[in-house]
Amino acid sequence: MTTILPFGTWPSPISAAEVTSSAPRIDGARFVGDEVWWSESLPQERGRTAILRRAIEADAEADADVVLPGPWSARSRVHEYGGGAWTIDDDGTLYFVEQSDQRVWRLGADGEPRALTVEAPGTHYGDLTWANGRLLAVRETARDGRVPERAIVEISSVAVEDAAPSAGTPLASGYDFLAYPRLSPDGDRLAFIGWNHPNMPWEATQLVVLDIRTGAVGIVAGSAHESVLQPEWTGPDELTYSTDRSGRWTLERRRLGGLPEPTAAESSDADTGGPLWNLGARWFAPLDDGRILAVRTHGRDELVVEDTDGGARSIRTPLSAQVLIRDVSGTRALVTGAGATTPSGLWLVDVDDPGRARPLRGGVSDRSDGWLPEAIAMTFDGPSGPVHAFAYPPSNPGVEGPADERPPYIVTVHGGPTAHVAGEASPAVAYFTSRGVGVLDVNYGGSSGYGRAYRERLAGQWGIVDVQDVVAAAEGLVAAGFADGARLAIKGGSAGGWTVLSALTTSKTFSAGISRYGVADLRALAADTHDFEAHYLDGLVGPLPDAEPVYEARSPLGRIDDLSVPVLLLQGADDPVVPPAQAYAMRDALAAKGISHALVVYEGESHGFRRAETIQHALESELSFLGQVFGFATPGVPVLPLED
């Protein structure tokens, strides 16, 4: 029998503690003989990244063996967001970047890690790649001086047999940023991606080939308005890579010295590629027989096989969100991602037997149907064009809301802002929807996943187009009868936090705001942020110093007089991307105006929360905050004190 209860008060078994362990955060995976190795962030171990392993044929719920035990943690800080923090050689020896010192270490059969690189504060390694008997890495060395002269970036060859640690042998440099070191099959040539300030890697990059023997360098692809990603050698003299020259990231191959050719004859209104926030991301992988396994994205993701004759076919899997290809062996692939009804996890996919797609880690829920809501794809009319979003209505198998009441909704804004959401089954979303609070995820203009033109809507318009789009989506949701227009909250992290604060100071659509490590002062961000994003704002707002009046006019901190609703601020104490000073300044401004607010600062957390106790406290704080603002009880959740 269904119980009728006010929205927000529904009893739910989904606790914040459960959310911390129900969807594993997996950063990479490899085939190693008859085993699969993968890296996973462990919230219960203070967020360290462990390397785990399990037999390929083992059940997904079987216990995993630990390859890299605590307190070791494989996490890179190159470009701050890291990526490619571990790899293995042909004998199964593990090479990894230790989070605490950013050195490269080797873990052999004896189980004792040995340092391969010297200890040098300010030097980071990432994008580790094993090829042709060499260990390659992107090395970033900080140096004194003002942006853009903050770091030196090189591709280095790291000695793996020397008795004493070394700095590595530089192979390639000449760009502000580097990624994807790829050795040719004969080991004589090195392909890589490079780009320079003020560009971001989704704006303009170059594909370069270096002849290691002679030092000769040639640019294979890339221009001032073209993003080239992920080169892979698909023949002795042939590279396959992704380029958005056509307006969508698509694959093409080029025989060195020849003209580029598309890899598939059929056109696709989808992207095989995405914003390179983390090094080592793979959206396609060549198979042994010449075919290519690829991810295509238009809002949602799909796996396809591009055949050697130019055709392509879809592979049916449960995955449709955040899909990346981690490794391939024969016709099998290791893939991470989530689906509309499938939580995130690591999957084994056979491209010739799609029915064998099965989860190896995560990818399943202990909850029965009705607890994890299925996202509804929606499109709204915005001032700059269509606005894409995914709605998660309240979902609880035993409870419904009153017929004459509409539910409160949280409008969530992803970070980046060059990123996207794809409507995945999420325990964190279910934490709210199971209690009768809906969630709307918005891919505002500037989001990836819909082509270059959609991304470029935000050029020079950050704080305007993103705000207009989330407002249009929220108001469209109310007009469609989904949500209570008097109980709309907006929530976002990082760049999403900026949009939260901007929306609260320029519109009256939302009754509350939740900002996780959000930007409040653009000028301070430009002065304090790290090298990778040092000129990101040039394209989003305008280059300094000429655009300084725009920075001041758009910053929420300078428009505090236009803000009148409660705000919750959540911040990591060690955040180098959006420093805590931003949250403290916003807190002080709210207090000075007498606006109801709370600031929670988490010690030991950086840009994004990884520790179990932080994730749990943040979710419970958000629910308590919403209950107090929207007037519903939150039993079992500690009350978060609000200040005026």
Helices (H) and strands (E) in the chain, counts: 10, 38
Q: In terms of DSSP bridges, do strands 123-131 and 134-142 run parallel, antiparallel, or are they unpaired? A: antiparallel
The overall longest dimension of the chain from CA atoms, in Å, is 77
Residues 280-306 have pLDDT tens digits of 999 999 999 999 999 999 999 999 999
Instruction: Write down the residue that tokens 């989808």 correspond to.
Output: 270
Judged by phi (left if over 0) then psi (alpha if -120 to 50, else beta), residue 8 lies in left
Is the pLDDT confidence value at 337 over 70?
Answer: yes
Residue 134 to residue 182: CA distance in whole angstroms: 11
Which residue in 454, 459, 429 sits closest to 443, CA to CA? Answer: 454
Provide the pLDDT confidence category of residue 484 given band limits of 50, 70 and 90.
Answer: very high
User: For the residues 180-194, what does the mean pLDDT come to?
Assistant: 96
The answer to whether 621 and 431 are in contact (CB under 8 A) is: no
Residue 43, phi then psi, degrees to nearest 5: -60, -35
Residue 319 confidence (pLDDT) above 90: yes
| Predicted pLDDT of residue 370 | 79
Name the band, by pLDDT with cuts 50, 70 and 90, for residue 536: very high
- Least Cα distance to 372 among 426, 410, 322 occurs for 426
Specify the range with the lowest mean pLDDT, choosing from 189-203, 219-233, 526-540.
Answer: 526-540
| Residue 404 DSSP SS3 | coil
State how beta strands 321-329 and 25-32 pair.
unpaired
Query: What kind and span of H or E run contains 569?
Result: strand 567-572
Helix or strand holding residue 327 (H, E): strand 321-329
Instruction: Identify whether the C-beta of residue 279 lies closer than 8 Å to the C-beta of residue 78.
Output: yes
Q: What is the average per-residue pLDDT within 496-517?
A: 96
- Band (pLDDT 50/70/90 cuts) for residue 266 is low
> For position 190, what pLDDT does the model report?
96
Give me the domains of the chain, ranges plus CATH numbers: 367-630 (3.40.50.1820)
Does the bond joining 148 to the residue before it have cis omega, within 30 degrees of 0? yes
Range from 305-309, 310-314, 428-432 that averages highest in pLDDT: 428-432
Rounded to two decimals, the pTM is 0.93
Query: Looking at the predicted structure, is the pLDDT value of residue 445 above 60?
Result: yes
Dump pLDDT digits (tens) for 541-577.
Answer: 999 999 999 999 999 999 999 999 999 999 999 888 8
Of 117-131, 517-531, 615-629, minimum mean pLDDT range = 517-531
What pairing do the DSSP bridges indicate for beta strands 597-602 and 567-572? parallel
Per-residue model confidence (pLDDT) at position 473 = 98
How far is the CA of 378 from the CAs of 49, 155, 403, 440, in angstroms?
36, 43, 23, 10
Q: Which amino acid is at 81?
A: Y
Count CB-CB contacts under 10 A for residue 453.
Answer: 11
CB 248 within 8 A of CB 268: yes
Q: Which of 510, 527, 628 is nearest to 582 (CA)?
A: 527
What is the gyration radius of the CA atoms in the chain, in angstroms? Answer: 24
DSSP state, 483? S
pLDDT at 38 over 60: yes
In the chain, pLDDT over 90 holds for what percent of residues?
A: 77
- Write out pLDDT tens, residues 11-23: 999 998 888 877 7
CA gap 507, 497 in Å, rounded: 15
Query: What is the per-residue pLDDT for 525?
Result: 87
pLDDT above 60 for 475: yes
Measured distance CA(613)–CA(45) in Å, rounded: 10
pLDDT at 58: 82
Residue position matching structure tokens 């042909």: 90
Q: Are 500 and 491 in contact (CB under 8 A)?
A: yes
How far apart, in whole angstroms, are the C-alpha atoms of residue 395 and residue 442? 19
Sheet holding 48-55, edge to edge: 25-32, 35-42, 48-55, 65-68
For residue 202, give Cα distances in angstroms to 75, 199, 205, 228. 23, 8, 8, 8
Beta carbons within 10 angstroms of residue 354's beta carbon = 15
Helix or strand run (H / E) with residue 502: helix 495-506
Per-residue pLDDT tens over the stretch 135-148: 999 999 976 533 34
Instruction: Read off the pLDDT of residues 345-389 as tens digits, 9 standing for 90 and up.
Output: 999 999 998 667 899 998 887 776 778 888 999 999 999 999 999
Share of the chain above pLDDT 70, in %: 98
Give the pLDDT of residue 144: 53
For residue 583, the one-letter residue type is A
In sequence order, which residues have a C-beta less than 8 Å from that of residue 146 and are 6 or more positions away? none
Exposed, middle or buried by CB within 10 Å (0-12, 13-18, 19+), for 12?
Answer: middle
At residue 322, what is the residue type?
Q
pLDDT mean across residues, the chain = 92
The residues that bridge with 495 in the sheet, in sequence order, are none
**What is the SS3 assignment for 522?**
helix
Strand bridging mode 512-516 / 567-572? parallel
